[in-house]
Amino acid sequence: MQLEEWILADFMAASLNFEASFVRKLLLKLSDFFLFYSLSADEATAADLRAHHQTVKRATELIRILFAMTFLEEVGHQVDTRRRSQSFPTKKAKAKGTQRESKQALKAAKNRATLDEGPFLALGHHVPSTRSEADAMSSEVFQLLHSILEVCQTSLRSLNHQT
């Protein structure tokens, strides 16, 4: 297996720990390289390379935010699961669970209120309100980054053939 094939094959596996992954670091370096390369390219190619550079920067930030987000449905599910696992919950335990659920819901709402919408808007998305929306969005962003990585690899090959 060639290095290029290995990188592309490993791309989706890197999504689990994208922030620290080799693929993320490689994408950032390649986008930086092609940003500087764009200075010597024709205008159309230069515009595409600048757009890819901005997309890589914004997409990596967006993925970081998506993985860090907490949704109300998750908070409620955690509390419901804990309550179901108790055989005979006391009134005090129920009150604590309700109070804890309220605190977690308030914390999730505060986090959403302070969330920077910039990375979402820059890539044409809205802030997701459920985990399933966030998962679908992260999958779409990973596909976009995968295609940019393929473009970078193709561009590197063409540069190699020119020299």
- Is residue 83 predicted with pLDDT exceeding 50? no
Instruction: Give the CA dihedral 23, 24, 27, 29, nearest 10 degrees.
Output: -110
Dihedral of alpha carbons 117, 118, 121, 125, sign: negative
State residue 108's pLDDT score: 60
Residue range 115-122: mean pLDDT, rounded:
88
Alpha helices in the chain (DSSP H): 3-10, 22-37, 43-68, 72-85, 91-113, 118-122, 131-162
Per-residue pLDDT band for 43 (boundaries 50, 70, 90) equals confident
What is the value of pTM for the model shown? 0.70
Q: Answer whether residue 54 shows pLDDT above 50.
A: yes
Distance CA 77, CA 157 (A): 49
- Kindly report the number of other CB atoms within 10 A of residue 7's CB atom: 18
Would the pLDDT of 147 be above 50?
yes
The pLDDT score that the predictor gives to residue 85 is: 46
Say if residue 124's pLDDT is above 60.
yes
Residue 8 has pLDDT above 80, yes or no: no
**Across 70-89, average pLDDT:** 52
The average pLDDT across 84-105 equals 56
The pLDDT-based confidence of 107 (bands split at 50, 70, 90) is low
The domain spans of the chain are 3-69+120-162, 71-114
Tell whether the model's pLDDT for residue 15 goes beyond 70.
no
**Cα distances (angstroms) measured from residue 86 to each of 47, 83, 100:** 60, 5, 16
